[in-house]
A and B are shown apart, each in its own frame.
Chain A
Amino acid sequence: MESNQWSSPTEFWDLPPFFTIQPTDATREKQLSLWLQVVCHYCRAQRQYFIDISERMADSAPFHNAKAKRKLTLDGLRKICSYMVQHGHGVWMDEGQNRMAVFWRKPQEWAAAIYRWASDSGHLNSVETLFSLREGDDTRDQDFHGLPHEILLIALQALEGQGKAQIFRGSSSDHDGVKFFSQAA
Chain B
Amino acid sequence: MGSWFSRCPPAKEKKPDRITDSDRAVLDLKAQRDQLQIHKRKLQSTISSDLSAAKRFIETKKKSLALLALKKKKHHETLIDQCDQHLLKIAELISNVEYAQVQETLVKALEVGNAAMKKMQQEISLDYVERLVEESEEARAYQQEVNAMLFKDGITDQDTDVLADLRRIEEEEAQAVIENVPSPPTAELPPAAQEAVAAGADDKAERARVEKERAREPQLVPA
Q: Chain B residue with minimal CB distance to A171?
A: B24
0/1 per residue, B1-41, Cβ < 8 Å to A?
11111101011100111110101111110111110010000
A175 touches B31 (CB 8 A): yes
Given A179-B18, A179-B19: A94 and B31 within 8 A (CB)? no
By secondary structure, the A interface counts as mixed
Residues on B with C-beta less than 8 A from A132 are 30, 33-34
Whether A92 pairs with B11 at a CB distance below 8 angstroms is no
B98 close to A (CB within 8 Å): yes
Q: With a CB–CB cut-off of 8 A, which chain A residues contact B25?
A: 170-171
The interface residues of chain A lying within 8 Å CB-to-CB of B11 are 166-169
* Interface stretch (choices A30-38, A46-54, A108-116, A121-129): A121-129
Cβ contact within 8 Å between B27 and A93: no
Q: Taking chain B's interface residues, is the majority helix, strand, or loop, or is none over half, making it mixed?
A: helix
CB–CB A168/B15 < 8 A? no
User: Which residues of chain B have C-beta atoms less than 8 A from A86's C-beta?
Assistant: 1
Decide if A173 touches B4 in the complex (CB within 8 Å): no
Alpha-carbon gap, A170 to B11, bound state (A): 12
- CB–CB A157/B8 < 8 A: yes
A76 proximal to B (CB < 8 A): no
> Please, which residues of chain B bring their CB within 8 A of the CB of A166?
11, 15, 17-19
Query: What is the minimal beta-carbon distance from A151 to any residue of chain B, in angstroms?
Result: 10
Assess whether A179 is in contact with B31, with CB atoms less than 8 Å apart: no
Flag A144-184 by CB within 8 Å of B: 1 or 0 each.
00000010011001001001001111111101110101000
Q: Is the CB of B19 within 8 A of A150?
A: no
Instruction: Flag if B10 contacts A169 (CB, 8 Å).
Output: yes
- A93 in complex: contacting residue of B3, B17, B28, B101, CB < 8 Å: B3
When distances are taken between beta carbons in the complex, the residues of chain A under 8 Å from B6 are 95
Instruction: Let me know if B4 and A128 touch, CB within 8 A.
Output: no
A128 to B34, CA, bound (A): 10
Could you tell me the distance between the alpha carbons of A69 and B4 in the complex, rounded to whole angstroms?
A: 36
A91 at the interface (CB under 8 A from B): yes
Given contacts A92-B1, A173-B28, A185-B16, contact A127 B8 (CB under 8 A): no
Q: Is A117 an interface residue (CB 8 A)?
A: no
List the A side residues contacting B1 at CB < 8 Å: 85-86, 92
Given contacts A154-B4, A166-B19, A168-B11, 10 further A-B contacts (CB under 8 A): A94-B3, A127-B23, A127-B26, A132-B30, A132-B34, A153-B8, A154-B8, A166-B17, A168-B27, A173-B31
Chain B residues proximal to chain A, CB less than 8 Å: 1-6, 8, 10-12, 15-19, 21, 23-28, 30-34, 37, 98, 101
Q: Which 4 A-B pairs have the closest CB atoms?
A: A177-B27, A175-B31, A170-B27, A167-B10
19 A-B pairs with C-beta separation under 8 A: A86-B1, A94-B3, A126-B98, A127-B30, A128-B30, A129-B33, A129-B34, A132-B30, A135-B37, A150-B5, A166-B17, A166-B19, A168-B11, A170-B25, A170-B28, A171-B25, A175-B28, A177-B27, A177-B31
